[in-house]
Amino acid sequence: MKKMQVLQTVTIRFAGDSGDGMQLVGDQFTVAVALAGNNLLTLPDYPSEIRAPAGTLFGVSGFQIQFSSGSVHTPGDTLDVLVAMNPAALQVNLKQMKNNGIIIVNTDAFNERNLELAQYGSNPLKDNLLDGYQVFQVPIASLNREALKESSLSLKAKNRSRNFFALGIAYWMFNCSLDNTLNWIESKFESKPDLIDANKKALHAGYDYALSAEDFSTYYKVEKANKRPGKYRNITGNKAVALGMITAARKADKKLFLGSYPITPASDILHELSKHHNFDVITFQAEDEIAGVGSALGASYAGALGVTTTSAPGMSLKSEFTGFAVMAELPLVIINVQRSGPSTGMPTKTEQADLLQSLYGRGGEAPVPVIAAASATDCFKATFEACRIALEFATPVILLSDEYIANGAEPWLIPNLEEVPEIEVKCATNPENYQPYERDPKTLARMMALPGTPGLEHCIGGLEKEDVSGNVSYDPENHDRMVRLRDKKVRTIADYVDDPEICGEPEGDLLVISWGSTYGSVFTAMEEIQNRGLKVSWYHLRWIHPLPQNLGGYIKNFNKVLIPEINLGQLIKIIRSEYLVDAKGFNSVRGLPLRVSDIIEAIEAQLEG
């Protein structure tokens, strides 16, 4: 008799070779639990190589999902369930398992060759390595081949569907419906009936095996989450960025132009926008990073919303054109999806190491506003706000995302577009007494004139401008004045954006300051810390340049300041310099999101002194 157990939260990881289809089954499982009404957050984790050598430790591809009937802010620190398709997947992920966690292994892959590649001295299924876990040994590959014995597909093609057999087991174990995946299979392989039949059979075979096998005596159910009413969809950070751009362009009544050179992990933004030409979107895949930003800046000068996307190596190449945008005072949005560096680094792993580059990585005094997205869904709002500021203040703006939130997915409440504010962009039309660098008295933004407007011809370029007239100037006093005006314009942005709210009391023993994708990990850690009654508060930065107006006041009200980052300490340099506070850092650069448990330990260490 099968028993059902209700759980609040589950973290599961599918892991195998990069050719085992783990990202695909992870996506399908994500959709299934989302349709079941659960909150969730995902962590795709795959090798940098397109097809790493099979069976090797560095070739392991994984997809992790935390889903819950409560709130979810991270993909999970530790695993309740691991589906391991080979020994390497078990070796890489075993250290993340909870005590008494469930491990489902494909025993067919545990041969001598694969055990050697995974650096096992003996078979972990036969010694005591897995004592303390619930281990389900399933010959997934051979059972899948048996289920497809009447298929006309080749043996190689049949073996490719073993990931669906594993997915079927997971669907039974967590009481998920197969319907969405069955529909997806029909749509994906609509012109290949043999593949439709094989993958459907594999999925059903895995489900039926778990249903009938005596070892699988318990299945689990995670109740629906109590969500705000509305229409939801699953969204990744990169797709949210793309939709934020489109929305901003529509609200500003402008065409959207993306000039970009493909680079991991930002390429999906280009892919997504290329599907939406019906919204006056122009996508240009440039020959290099410099051409990408140059074309976007040219489009901006011509009256479009100009955007370019990249990651750290591309930011280095775009720096000269970014300085040009500062000097010419043209709107431009630069989206940096950060990844592990330096140089090529680890392209598929996450990091927060481009903050100082974004703030200072240009020649001369070239201030640029910098905003950081906090989560996959927040990428929409952060992108919209970056576009608004760029257009209203006639300035380049850098938006920082990173690999974790770019490819991670979570449910997104689709906003009512009527409630999204319009973006008012003023352009000069009267040729009488037009001065290209005459400024709005409040925002200090210069009045742009679209090229071709009669009577509004003027000089544009990277040489210093004379105040008001915009003519080329080498006057020392004018240069000092223009440098200060450009800096003041960026600092004025603080008057036109919302300050974050502090989480907790306005004074106490410790203030935790975070930025970017550490939001979810810090949020979860703070829930536990504050539930203990400790005098710890939290302040998450959205705008890093300019800094929020109320931050300095809060810092003075706390005895200590802790700043967790996925770098060796970049924001902490800014906070120490700006506020003369002896802030302490918690820094981890593993190519992965910060662990909640590590943040809690760092907070406890600070409180203990």
Asked if 105 and 84 count as a contact pair (C-beta separation under 8 A), the reply is yes
Query: Cis peptide before 431, with omega less than 30 degrees from 0?
Result: no
Map out the domains of the chain as residue ranges: 3-222, 233-419, 508-608
The answer to whether 3-222 and 508-608 have equal CATH topology is no
In this prediction, residue 426 has a pLDDT band, given cuts at 50, 70 and 90, of confident
**pLDDT at res. 189:** 95
pLDDT at 68 over 90: yes
Provide the pLDDT for residue 459.
82
Region 508-608: CATH code? 3.40.50.920
Pick the CATH number of 233-419 from 3.40.50.720, 3.40.50.300, 3.40.50.970, 3.90.1150.10: 3.40.50.970
- CA 126, distance to chain mean position in Å, is 40
Under the banding of pLDDT at 50, 70 and 90, the label for residue 333 is: very high
Residues recorded for the chain: 609
User: 91-94 contacts: CB < 8 A, separation 24 or more?
Assistant: 91/57, 91/118, 91/119, 91/120, 92/15, 92/57, 92/60, 92/62, 93/13, 93/15, 93/60, 93/62, 94/129
Computed over every residue of the chain, the mean pLDDT equals 96
pLDDT of residue 151: 94
CATH T-level topology, domain 3-222: Pyruvate-ferredoxin Oxidoreductase; domain 3 (3.40.920)
For 448-494, the pLDDT digits (tens) are 999 999 999 888 899 999 999 999 999 999 999 999 999 999 999 99
Q: Enter the pTM of the model.
A: 0.95
Task: Quote helix, strand, coil % in the chain, to nearest 5.
Answer: 40, 25, 35
- State residue 52's pLDDT score: 81
The string of pLDDT tens digits covering residues 207-241 is 999 999 999 999 999 999 999 999 999 999 999 99
